[in-house]
């Protein structure tokens, strides 16, 4: 049985330096890459949500969810 140390590194596309793949820095870089791969329409829906032709929210986006959470603080 092999053990897994959890110590993995990758080269950051942003800095060109090694970064631990368990770090928040790597997480943010991966999130940014995923968003940049989206089409403009997909990014718009991701951040602002999706509405039907009558303006009814079908799916909340990241921005409305964040605003809602902040309003409850």
Q: How many CA atoms lie within 13 Å of 45's alpha carbon, on the beta-carbon side?
A: 11
pLDDT higher than threshold 90 for residue 72: no
Report pTM.
0.67
Task: Enter the DSSP assignment of 23.
Answer: S
What residues make up the domain containing 52? 40-73
**pLDDT tens across 44-59, in order?**
999 989 989 998 888 8
* Residue 2 located in a structural domain: no
In DSSP notation, 34-72 reads: HHHHS-HHHHHHHHH-EE-TTS-EEE--HHHHHHHHHHT
Q: How many angstroms separate the CA atoms of 56 and 63, rounded?
A: 16
Same domain, 73 and 47: yes
Q: How many angstroms separate the CA atoms of 47 and 66, rounded?
A: 10
Same domain, 28 and 47: no
**pLDDT tens across 2-54, in order?**
566 667 999 999 999 999 999 999 999 999 999 999 999 999 999 989 989 99
């Amino acid at each position: 049985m092999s053990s897994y140390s959890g110590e993995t590194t990758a080269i950051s596309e942003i800095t060109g330096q090694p970064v631990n793949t368990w770090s928040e820095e790597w997480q943010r870089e991966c999130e940014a890459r995923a968003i940049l791969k989206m089409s403009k329409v997909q990014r718009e829906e991701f951040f602002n949500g999706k509405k039907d032709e009558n303006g009814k929210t079908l799916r909340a986006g990241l921005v409305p969810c964040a605003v809602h959470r902040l309003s409850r603080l």
